[in-house]
Amino acid sequence: MEQHVSDTYVRILENELIVALGCTEPIAIAYAGALARRTLGQMPQKVNVACSGNIVKNVKGVTVPNSGGLRGIKVAALLGIAGGDASKELAVLEGVTDAARAETRRLLAEGVCTTSLVEGEENLVVIVTASAHGHSVLVEIRGTHTHVARIEKDGVLLQSSDADTGEQDAMPDKSLLNVRDILEFAQTVDLAPIRPLILKQIEYNVAISYEGLRCGYGGEVGRTLMEMYGMNCPVQVRAAAAAAAGSDARMNGCPMPVVINSGSGNQGITLTLPVVEYAKELHVSSDTLVRALVMANLLSVHQKKYIGSLSAYCGATSAACAAGAAVCWMQGGGYDEICGTITNTLATLGGMLCDGAKSSCAAKISTAVQTALVSAAMSSHGRRFRHGDGIVTKDVEETIADIGYIAREGMRYADSEILRLMLEHE
């Protein structure tokens, strides 16, 4: 592998595997709120939060962490304003105190915060405006959950960055990702600079999974699976239950951090837990587990680069597909078997709808993981969907790209209709 490709892959992992507390959409709002308060220098008297449709969709149904069980856009913004630490970015609400929660409730009761919908814009936009005593600020997040596109105070531009130019120029080139090179990289890369990232991902994501299995969060999908099959259930069930349990906890306000992938904690959880469970079952070495997760993380990013941060397509499909491919590799599969696992999974799950972040994400994750594991088992026996089976093409890279196109472009109308129905039935 060429050195610049290997170096790029390392940088992709460093950029993608970051710590987040809670669902990343309300956290992005809280981050913008914390930045607004810091820039204003005082508690605002009026706040407006304008969000694109997919932000609204993914905030509506989840509990904001450290909020005391509250939900919604206003809660996320005001909690960030009252008690957020902007320097922690996606862990902005980590240090929220009882006093900040009380202040948030006061601000909610006084009607300080209003909301509005940003229409005709890309899928990830948050604009917080705040004012007090004759001063005003504007903070805009766009493109990714932590990309601050603009900060203004009293009409003066303090910070500006174009999500489509400046920040992207500094980002590692994801166009270099492909299945064959990802496999080679995962098998041969020096693990020294990567191991701490992967070990943190294992530590944090396993911990929240255990918490989800231990406590009654949301629909308790993970616990239900374990109760159905018992503690001595097959590894396939344990893998799906562990991933679902992490989402159970995360979607329902558990204040534990996760290491994300492609801007999503659920995707980070989904690709981590099945690989960890299979590593235990197969008694593989620590290095093998780390390499498997390197592969899973990069395969998930590879798929998502065609889709974008948010869409009407459930990102758990990409993450579970990546986990299934990594499990296939741990079981002795090579390039052909991994390609078969990816093709089988996408041919089966491609098109699973994202109707926002909420408790049922755990059920979708469980379904996606189980499908990916069946796909891996099929592929290991040479059983693969072939060119002409629906959208499956002769080449795995074309299939991945085509699924991404469908998710990004083909499902735009579905995305707007999903949002319309969700808002209509509030």
Q: Which of 167, 201, 236 is the last residue of a domain?
A: 167
User: 378 lies in a domain?
Assistant: yes
On whether both 277 and 307 belong to a single domain, the answer is: yes
Work out the pLDDT band at 363, boundaries 50, 70, 90. very high
On whether both 281 and 386 belong to a single domain, the answer is: yes
On whether both 351 and 300 belong to a single domain, the answer is: yes
User: 8 lies in a domain?
Assistant: no
Q: How far apart are CA 246 and CA 229, in angstroms?
A: 18
Q: How far apart are CA 79 and CA 112, in angstroms?
A: 12
Nearest residue to 262 via CA among 295, 309, 226, 208: 309
Beta bridge partners of 138: 129, 152
User: 7 lies in a domain?
Assistant: no
User: 231 lies in a domain?
Assistant: yes
Beta bridge partners of 313: 353
On whether both 198 and 161 belong to a single domain, the answer is: no
What is the pLDDT, as a whole number, of residue 425?
Answer: 65
User: 354 lies in a domain?
Assistant: yes
Q: 22: how many CB neighbours lie within 10 A of its CB?
A: 30
Beta strand 135-142 pairing with 148-153: antiparallel
**Residues 69/63, Cβ–Cβ less than 8 Å:** yes
47: helix, strand or coil: strand
**Residues 261/267, Cβ–Cβ less than 8 Å:** yes
On whether both 158 and 276 belong to a single domain, the answer is: no
On whether both 143 and 234 belong to a single domain, the answer is: no
Q: Give 23-74 pLDDT, tens digit per residue.
A: 889 999 999 999 999 999 999 999 999 999 889 888 988 899 999 999 999 9
CATH number of residue 310's parent domain: 1.10.4100
Q: For 238-249, what is the mean pLDDT?
A: 97
On whether both 163 and 185 belong to a single domain, the answer is: no
On whether both 121 and 217 belong to a single domain, the answer is: no
- As for how many domains the chain has, the answer is 2
Q: Which of 114, 149, 167 is the last residue of a domain?
A: 167
On whether both 179 and 71 belong to a single domain, the answer is: no
User: 120 lies in a domain?
Assistant: yes
Q: Exposed, middle or buried, 420 (CB in 10 Å: 0-12/13-18/19+)?
A: exposed
pTM of the model: 0.89
Q: Give 288-346 pLDDT, tens digit per residue.
A: 999 999 999 999 999 999 998 778 899 999 999 999 999 999 999 999 999 999 999 99
User: 1 lies in a domain?
Assistant: no
Q: Which residue has the tokens 């798929």?
A: 303
On whether both 261 and 346 belong to a single domain, the answer is: yes
On whether both 219 and 255 belong to a single domain, the answer is: yes
Q: Which of 167, 198, 228 is the last residue of a domain?
A: 167
On whether both 192 and 63 belong to a single domain, the answer is: no
**Residues 94/106, Cβ–Cβ less than 8 Å:** no
Nearest residue to 137 via CA among 16, 44, 265: 44
**Residues 344/381, Cβ–Cβ less than 8 Å:** no
User: 158 lies in a domain?
Assistant: yes
Q: Which residue has the tokens 């009882």?
A: 98
Range of the domain at 190: 172-424
Q: What percent of the chain has pLDDT over 70?
A: 97
Residue by residue, DSSP assigns 247-305 as: HHHHHBT---EEE-BTTBHHHHHHHHHHHHHHHHHHT--HHHHHHHHHHHHHHHHHHHT
Instruction: Answer whether residue 161 shows pLDDT above 90.
Output: no
CATH number of residue 103's parent domain: 3.30.1330
